[in-house]
Structure 1
């Protein structure tokens, strides 16, 4: 294992530094703009447009890497992200910031794709789980370190932006100095989205709501913290605790999901999300310590929704079409992450900061109502179900899908046409014979 990790150390280090800057920046934006009395709508919109850049930029980034190679594409993207951050120091027009955040998202997803496709191309199938897990740990650790670094900037002036720019530049160094050969990249073909929508509709709902909750968290949980009379350092810890708890909970939740079944685990997760959000909607007042406890609990719940939904989907898609599945799930999650911050920003601006947790409670209730065993027939259960539960990074990207140990790249046919009988609509009528059987649960 140590040899495998050591072989990709430069790429892991680049991911760690890149996410440290990105993690700090997202929280900084919420705190700084709130201190300046900027509307929550703008706070949500700035992160929503960033996620939109991540989704839209995936295709452009792929073409860029294909045309000029991994290292050049990564370097150009790092330069663009750095420039976008530094321009925000010079220009305080929020409309210009929106444009900068969109292009920064598109550039950053190119960096993610460069790292992840590089890891994937040079990883053997038997090592894929180790490589993926350590990459997930490094990206999530970077997000946590970004929050901790923010506590060293109590003034919340331009200095955090300089730190983000430094991280963006320094993430280039390990990539530029690596001795590994950069791999070839295949030209992508269209993926039949209809096949996946018909095959795993419930999983897609889970991923959409997971994206909405997570996107709203990164954009507006810092705003909620400030409104709850926390200072900027406490807000950074409030966010860091949630992310760290989400990372540590991945493996225990995976163990639970493998034994209780995906549907029941998702419903328990959603029910807890609903119940925990209720005390925070403005009825009660909590101390800083209790807010940290709630933050940790929400981290466990919100950051495990993505891997739970992905595991549920993989249980119901043939192994040779899972690369395409992961791409579809990434796009759905990204759309949710665009919608969530914008919607919650509007709600908080009009009716108060407590609407952040009203939104979270509503998302939990919606999942409890929609993801039910009665809707699961098991008709499309994969032959290797239940598949392995795989932890997911808090900020997934388009290329990470191929690192999933459930995927065998050499036999994948996601880009091949889907024969008619494979894409028949899923019957969601009650099937009492599978209602209580975790192993037979399928979308």
Structure 2
């Protein structure tokens, strides 16, 4: 544990930041509904966040190279806080779309900043434990933040002030307790055509997950509100889906290490489709049934991204992991930028029950495509690596996960990551730069 103590400021920063981000997604949906915005407008605001996510992925390496971690973090925190607070000052659909786009750019940059910072300070012996702690911090922070909604309500200024305070406070731990300034990450280059050639199934999987999970985060609160749930029950509804996503993550991953990953993908997607159909059927039932249903849906749905990524990496060549990780993140963000708007339009036209009908249609289509790939595709790689559970905060997390699992053969990008600190250690100018940056 003593080896992880220097990471506490970074993990504290990540927790406060994740809490602010998790609160914002639910709050904007419920406040928009209270202001009389249509489901389509609310879905458009959600899509704006993920469009900003795409932009931020490519802007972050340049920002960290030119400004350094601390300055970049401070700048993005200030912009995200201002954009978040501005939404309660100007109640306008188009303005909200722009502010959500800005916060999307900021948050992905902030997450990439923290994750690259953590990655620079851990060793191979502590990396897996650090990732496990980071995942727990994510789950706890996002879940706990949902319950700020019933405490402060969604109709006033106070909840926006609390959200803004969380974002601003995230800068305090790293500013006061961490004096390091690691090297910026390499650019997230990728080749979409190559990624599709490596694994069409993985590409289709992450697009599907983007379509449905982003809809859950952006339009799910509106669906729950349409069922007549109060603010406290909506907070529990969203939390149940998030917690459910952790329960089957590693059991399904472990199973995919033993049998065909395609088969596990098929089972998980079929489970998600069936639980989604149950949600449509029991939409007007008790709160307890809805909580159980969304818990099971999250349990089957959220591991799909990690399973798709593992399948793609089984088929990638040596040295392609970073490119595959960033490419999958890009395809996921495309789905995520479309899903909230599509699902919101359907809710506007057909009512709340159309939300899970949309999700079932997306997952059902992926079930059919997976069956086709199983029938037509080549067998799984017998030398495949181990499953790693992934967060979709930034491409940096996927790279950290790649370094934390044992693989049959060390990949070229892993070797480069290990060689870089040694080269910097032997370079006097590098040591001097680090001393100056930490002063």
User: Is TM more than 0.5 here?
Assistant: yes
Aligned twin of 2:389: 391
Secondary structure, in 3 states, of the residue corresponding to 1:188? coil
Q: Structure 1: how far apart are the matches of 2:390 and 2:156?
A: 33
Q: Structure 2: how far apart are the matches of 1:189 and 1:21?
A: 26
In structure 2, the CA distance between the partners of 1:117 and 1:177, relative to structure 1 (3 Å rule), is same
Superposition map of 1:413-432 within 5 A: none
Aligned twin of 1:378: 379
Q: Structure 2: how far apart are the matches of 1:28 and 1:191?
A: 34
- Kept in 2, the 8 Å contact 1:246–1:299? The answer is yes
Q: Deviations over 1:134-193 (max 9, x none)?
A: 222212222111112222123532221111100001101111123341111255274333
- Kept in 1, the 8 Å contact 2:282–2:290? The answer is no
Secondary structure, in 3 states, of the residue corresponding to 2:147? helix
Superposition map of 1:337-376 within 5 A: 337-372=336-371, 373-376=374-377
Q: Deviations over 1:337-386 (max 9, x none)?
A: 1111011011111111111110111122111100122132038x3x741x
Unaligned runs of 5+ in 1: 414-443
Q: Structure 2: how far apart are the matches of 1:48 and 1:176?
A: 32
Tell me whether 1:72 sits opposite 2:71 in the alignment: yes
- Kept in 2, the 8 Å contact 1:137–1:247? The answer is no
- Kept in 2, the 8 Å contact 1:34–1:223? The answer is yes
Q: Structure 1: how far apart are the matches of 2:301 and 2:14?
A: 22
Q: Structure 1: how far apart are the matches of 2:262 and 2:102?
A: 37
Shift of 1:260: 3.4
Q: Structure 1: how far apart are the matches of 2:207 and 2:2?
A: 37
Q: Deviations over 1:230-274 (max 9, x none)?
A: 011110110011101212332222222223321111111111122
Aligned twin of 1:199: 198
In structure 2, the CA distance between the partners of 1:30 and 1:189, relative to structure 1 (3 Å rule), is closer
Shift of 1:64: 1.1
In structure 2, the CA distance between the partners of 1:245 and 1:4, relative to structure 1 (3 Å rule), is farther
- Kept in 2, the 8 Å contact 1:402–1:409? The answer is no
Deviation >4 Å, runs of 4+: none
Moved more, 27-36 or 229-238: 27-36
Superposition map of 1:118-133 within 5 A: 118-133=117-132
Aligned twin of 1:29: 28
Aligned twin of 1:411: 415
Aligned residues: 408
Aligned twin of 1:240: 239
Moved more, 249-258 or 20-29: 249-258
Aligned twin of 2:408: none
In structure 2, the CA distance between the partners of 1:26 and 1:377, relative to structure 1 (3 Å rule), is same
